[in-house]
Structure 1
């Protein structure tokens, strides 16, 4: 997960996702979710409530093993989808899935029951990078995506290092964040997010 430095012509931030390691045995979905929430909060702290985010997800390395792992934790997937669609403070403007292949059909079949219609309309599938140019210049992407001078790994390392150095104290505190259920007004919306969200990130079965 990395926020690219240059905004689109529409003043949107591009947030890019891809697997760092294609070994499914190393994949921990709850830990990945927890990292997402922490890093996403930092992005919002950096940018404020900007005009919107454009998500680019690279399917390279994704296989059925990952889908099998995630499909056993659908309550966490549902929690994530509720956050993205109903709670995220910055609007999603588009989701571009690049380097697609037939597995994307299985992924969408899993996700569609949890998606609002407007989110489905934002999804654009790109078997190659060619059609991505219809939405924004490839020059905004890392060098290994026919973009700028710096490759994605280096962009990610530089960006992560800067955020960790700047927000190290907050990241340590993040591990202790917990909701006080005694102050909740009304009942938890378990019909939407599942029991795991009540209380804290720890009750998301993340630890």
Structure 2
């Protein structure tokens, strides 16, 4: 087995405050042993803790083979995608600019199934203030923080609010980053995603879906739900658990956002930076190993223009 070297992050990974005892399933002991044995032969992978194995096993519903593929994809992708997973400083001016025009929150209540609910929205609708790379980078930092803080959860439901979005916002999106983001969410991110909801959908929603669907697996398409007003969420979750801006009783989006932003900028600042040490060393990848689990970089250029019918 690999020992943790002195250069390993000082902050606890992947759970900053440790995995709660209630989340540790003793029935996974044999599965974790199998993963440790496999990991010891994967000399290119970074040092991993038992908590890493619990996290990835949980997200893969205890399938050892799927867990191996997810671990490999997760660390390889983060190593190769330096634009998204390096210099993870929440006080970076570009990250701050995005935090100033957006809300990213986790609701205080869970759904009846025990799922965590995350809401994302823009608060300044000037499309010229939206820069896609820093926005995706901040989004991924926030998600890492939430996952670390929560431990193992039955699932996650994600809500994107598109109120007042324009074609100008859509024109800020770049196809290579969309492809990379969709790959990461579907192949690497170690959570049980249960639903994706877009509320306050826009008249050009067909353009948005045309952009996304080529990179979505059938499982993701099935869990994607397009809504008009927020009230249409009611079949999926109790509306009272939403923030006040959406007619619920969960406090205001501004208060929730300020809390999470403070966590991102202070409590998790060092944790996010030190996570960057957990990367693949390609010079040590076994020569008899199959090719890398993905080829993410085949699309050139940006999505700069829409042809409007």
Q: Same fold (TM over 0.5)?
A: yes
Describe the SS at the equivalent of 2:229: coil
Q: By how many angstroms is 1:140 displaced?
A: 1.2
Q: Which whole-Å deviations, capped at 9, do the CAs of 1:100-130 have from their partners, x for residues lacking one?
A: 1222111001111111111111111111122
Q: CA deviation at 1:43?
A: 0.8
Counterpart-to-counterpart distance in 2, 1:15 and 1:184:
36
Moved more, 165-174 or 87-96: 165-174
- Cα-to-partner distance string for 1:152-175 (whole Å, 9 max, x where unaligned): 112111222134332222234457
Is the CA contact 1:99–1:126 (under 8 Å) kept in the aligned structure 2? yes
**Which residue matches 2:135?**
32
Residue in structure 2 matched with residue 59 of structure 1 by the alignment: 162
Which of 207, 217, 239 is the equivalent residue of 1:116? Answer: 217
Asked if 2 retains the 8 angstrom alpha-carbon contact of 1:7 and 1:13, the reply is yes
Aligned to 1:74: 175
Q: Which residue of 1 aligns with 2:8?
A: none
Is 1:89 the counterpart of 2:153 in the alignment?
no
1:42 — aligned with what?
A: 145
Contact 1:3 1:16 (8 Å CA) reproduced: yes
Q: Name which structure has the greater RCO, CA cutoff 8 Å, separation 6+.
A: 2
Aligned to 1:181: 282
From the superposition, tell whether residues 17 and 149 of structure 1 become closer, same or farther in structure 2 (CA, over 3 Å): closer
Residues 27, 66 of structure 1: 8 Å contact kept: yes
TM-score by length of structure 2 reads 0.58
Query: 1:33-73 deviations in whole A, cap 9, x for unaligned?
Result: 11122111111111123111101110013111111121xx2
Q: Could you tell me how far apart the structure 2 residues matched to 1:66 and 1:4 are? A: 26
Q: Computing the radius of gyration over CA atoms, which structure comes out larger, 1 or 2?
A: 2
Distance in 1 separating the partners of 2:220 and 2:135:
22
Deviates more, 1:20-29 or 1:169-178: 169-178
Match of 2:116 among 13, 18, 39: 13
> After the TM superposition, which of the residue ranges 14-23 and 146-155 deviates more from structure 2?
146-155
Q: CA RMSD of the aligned region, Å?
A: 2.1
